[in-house]
Amino acid sequence: MHSNDNGANGTITKKAKDDRFQGHDYYNIDELLGDDHLIARDAVRTWVKQEVSPIIEEYAEKGECPTHLFKGLAEIGAFGPSLPVEYGGGGMDETAYGVIMQELERGDSGIRSMASVQGSLVMYPIFRYASEAQKRKYLPKLGSGELIGCFGLTEPDHGSNPGGMVTNIKDDGDAYILNGAKMWITNSPVADIAVVWAKDEEGKVRGMVVEKDMPGFSAPEIHGKWSLRASITGELVFEDVRVPKENVFPEIRGLKGPLSCLSKARYGIAWGAVGAAMDCYDSALRYSLEREQFGKPIGGFQLTQKKLAEMITEITKAQLLVWRLGQLADKGKASPAQISMAKRNNVNMALEVAREARQIHGGMGITNEYPVMRHMMNLETVLTYEGTHDIHLLITGMDVTGLNAFK
Ligand code: TGC
Ligand code: FAD
């Protein structure tokens, strides 16, 4: 695609140089997207450039979440882009949701996490499983960022195997009494509400909305993360919390409740990871053209070109994977196993790209002058949360063999 890039004397023209950095759309995937997708994509890209890029290194270094961005995220429609407008969403399709996540994660995985959790793990379960009264009570305020939510599934002793959870509810007249603890919960210390999954007296997994002021509920922060440092993570602790029965999702029973929400969020992560990879590639490509060693740009060395060529090849394959996944999702035909394949492939791809990009930057690659080390550290979390790399492999394995490696 860059065959006409050389000037008369074989040097790279300024225009060709600029063209090289247009979102790295090597296979003209823009042509496969609708106008509404491109408008949403460009609006979020601009917002990220203006609001996220100038501050993100500082927040990541401090280990602090830029909570002031919640409002802006709401304004650009990042919370529940594919949920109906009357329930606080954006009324767009799944592909639009995907490109929005891609652009947010180009900024930072933690910023994409803020939106993933609010839209896919808090608004989506309330939209799908709560009573009409609960939907009306919570969804518009979540969509506008007036309320912040979190999602509690993982426990200290039950991560990959959430079915083993011990957090439980007991019937007590007009309320349930909730006891237990959740671990590694994105946004929990700043959340107004938590969507919590707990077992009832029959051992069935139930979902419910717990409000931060309910006596017996606390959400201490987890400190010491070297990854996703601009995202706040905490626990959820429940000590005889009285949860009114109207806060408990009336119909849904079993693990398919929370797992259906994970499908929604994993889909967004598969797109998001492409954004993080693009940002690393972009930085590495620029650096390789500017940085000179042995009297010429390091981009002129074959080993650097190998790295860059492999990076853009893998990014392009990942773009095509999520583009097709988006089509399937828009028809309601994306299976959980297809989503697992895309989440696993694309996050791993992004991590590999980040590592290669870090090498191209040499020593500068470990500093906060460039975004690659931050992306690389973030992606270690992304590889693990929403189902680890190996859990998604086993989901694919189960899908293709029909044999369940988990039982
Ligand atoms: P299993 O018996 O296979 O399934 C139980 C029921 O659930 C159904 N199901 C799904 N439904 C919708 N979407 C999915 N992805 C589904 N996966 C399974 C399944 O059909 C069954 O339905 P039914 O009607 O027969 O009852 O369950 P299992 O206990 O054997 O577990 C399987 C396994 C290991 C794949 C599952 O537990 C799993 O995915 N584990 C990984 C846990 C995980 O991903 N945790 C994520 C926590 S949240 C998080 O990380 C948020 S990070 C947020 C951020 O900051 O961005
Ligand atoms: P474990 O399940 O203990 O796994 C440890 C290792 O064992 C992994 O490599 C895993 O792949 C491997 N393993 C486990 N079982 C098998 C098996 N059957 N076969 C082969 N290998 C196996 N959770 C939430 O509920 N809400 C959130 O908002 C949330 N946010 C998070 C934010 C951050 C920053 C992090 C780090 C995690 C977050 N999580 C959240 C939790 C996340 O989903 C879990 O960390 C993840 O599911 C893995 O669980 P675990 O850490 O307990 O690891």
- Quick one: tokens of 263? 């499908």
Q: Which position among 51, 57, 105, 386 bears the catalytic label?
A: 386
Q: E strands of 153-302, at which residues?
A: 168-172, 175-186, 193-199, 205-211, 217-218, 233-244, 292-293, 296-297
Which residues make Cβ contacts (< 8 Å) with residue 175, sequence separation at least 6? 242, 243, 244, 245
Backbone angles phi, psi at 326, to 5 degrees: -60, -45
Same fold, 25-143 and 149-247: no
Task: Give, in words, the CATH class of 25-143.
Answer: mainly alpha
- Quick one: tokens of 161? 């195997």
CA gap 230, 233 in Å, rounded? 10
CA distances in angstroms from 184 to 189, 270, 325, 341, listed in the order given: 11, 20, 28, 24
Q: What is the pLDDT along the chain (407 residues), one digit of tens a residue?
A: 444 444 444 455 555 566 666 667 999 999 999 999 999 999 999 999 999 999 999 999 999 999 999 999 999 999 999 999 999 999 999 999 999 999 999 999 999 999 999 999 999 999 999 999 999 999 999 999 999 999 999 999 999 999 999 999 999 999 999 999 999 999 999 999 999 999 999 999 999 999 999 999 999 999 999 999 999 999 999 999 999 999 999 999 999 999 999 999 999 999 999 999 999 999 999 999 999 999 999 999 999 999 999 999 999 999 999 999 999 999 999 999 999 999 999 999 999 999 999 999 999 999 999 999 999 999 999 999 999 999 999 999 999 999 999 99
CA-nearest residue, atom 7 of ligand 2: 160
Atom of ligand 1 nearest to the CA of 163: 29
Q: Tell me, what's the pLDDT at 3?
A: 40
387 C-alpha to ligand 2 centroid (Å): 6
Ligand 1 pocket test, pick from 65, 233, 259 with the greatest ligand atom count within 8 Å of Cβ, gives 259
CA-nearest residue, atom 3 of ligand 2: 159
CA-nearest residue, atom 21 of ligand 1: 256
* DSSP structure class, residue 371: S
Residue 155 in 3-state DSSP? strand
CA-nearest residue, atom 54 of ligand 1: 113
State whether the beta carbon of 259 lies less than 6 angstroms from ligand 1: yes
CA gap 129, 195 in Å, rounded? 11
With respect to CATH, is domain 149-247 assigned 3.40.50.300? no
256 C-alpha to ligand 1 centroid (Å): 6
Q: Tell me, what's the pLDDT at 19?
A: 63
State whether the beta carbon of 336 lies less than 6 angstroms from ligand 1: yes
CA distances in angstroms from 368 to 45, 54, 59, 364, 375, listed in the order given: 21, 12, 11, 8, 11
CA distances in angstroms from 208 to 62, 121, 152, 214, listed in the order given: 34, 12, 10, 13
State whether the beta carbon of 154 lies less than 6 angstroms from ligand 1: yes
Q: Tell me, what's the pLDDT at 9?
A: 44
**Nearest residue to 211 via CA among 178, 255, 172:** 178
161 C-alpha to ligand 2 centroid (Å): 8
Dihedral sign computed on CA atoms, order 161, 262, 231, 109:
positive
Which residues make Cβ contacts (< 8 Å) with residue 8, sequence separation at least 6? none
Atom of ligand 2 nearest to the CA of 152: 25
CA gap 321, 341 in Å, rounded? 9
* Ligand 2 proximal residues by C-beta, below 6 Å: 117, 150-154, 159-160, 184-186, 228, 233, 381, 384-388, 390-391, 394, 406
Q: Tell me, what's the pLDDT at 24?
A: 79
Residue 204 in 3-state DSSP? coil
Sorted by where each begins, the domain ranges of the chain are 25-143, 149-247, 256-401
Q: E strands of 284-384, at which residues?
A: 292-293, 296-297
Ligand 1 pocket test, pick from 255, 378, 406 with the greatest ligand atom count within 8 Å of Cβ, gives 255
CA-nearest residue, atom 12 of ligand 2: 390
Residue 57 is among the residues annotated as catalytic for this protein:
no
184 C-alpha to ligand 2 centroid (Å): 9
Ligand 2 pocket test, pick from 231, 379, 391 with the greatest ligand atom count within 8 Å of Cβ, gives 391
Fold adopted by 256-401: Butyryl-CoA Dehydrogenase, subunit A; domain 3 (1.20.140)
